[in-house]
């Protein structure tokens, strides 16, 4: 059991970290009473995948930071299909995303949405673009 800091009198300050409410006494910080803080995420360390195209093909890789939502933004005047694909072997094998066995991360129009989170180091993402006409602007970022 951790030793607790005792205050011998009301006017003697503690020499340990403590916090309290406006109308309540200070409480020592210990394993059972940690500081009431939350982690604030700094800007993502990943480099966005940004570009535009009027031809079909595959672009990438996007290397995500772990545990942060991956957002896909598609804009422009285009027709076709854009699919976010995941790879764990540097892009040699790319697999479409699914949710409950159904296709996920597959777009036929402009979009701006969080698609997935990544938890496996070394995974990369790619956009498979099959345009019928127009010009597509894309951004994959966190």
Give the pLDDT confidence of 8-22 residue by residue, as tens digits: 555 545 556 666 767
Residues in the chain: 142
- Report the b/e string of 35-65 with b at 16+ CB within 10 A: eeeeeeeeeeebeebeeebeeeeebbbbebe
Indicate the range of 13-27, 32-46, 52-66, 76-90 predicted with least confidence. 13-27
Instruction: Give the per-residue pLDDT at 8.
Output: 57
Which tokens in the block code for residue 88? 């764990």
Per-residue pLDDT, averaged over 108-134, amounts to 97
pTM score? 0.72
* Residues near 45 by beta carbon (within 8 Å), at least 6 away in sequence: 65
């Amino acid at each position: 059991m951790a030793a607790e800091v005792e205050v011998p009198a009301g006017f003697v300050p503690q020499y340990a970290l403590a916090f309290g409410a406006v109308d309540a006494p200070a409480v020592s910080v210990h394993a059972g009473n940690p500081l009431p803080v939350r982690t604030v995420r700094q800007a993502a360390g990943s480099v966005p995948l940004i570009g535009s195209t009027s031809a079909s093909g595959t672009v990438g890789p996007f290397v995500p930071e772990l545990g942060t939502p991956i957002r896909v933004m598609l804009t422009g005047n285009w027709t076709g299909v854009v699919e976010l694909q995941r790879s764990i072997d540097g892009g040699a094998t790319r697999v479409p995303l699914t949710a409950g066995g159904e296709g996920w991360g597959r777009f036929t129009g402009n979009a701006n949405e969080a698609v997935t989170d990544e938890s496996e180091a070394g995974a990369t993402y790619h956009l498979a673009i099959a345009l019928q006409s127009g010009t597509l602007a894309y951004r994959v970022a966190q």
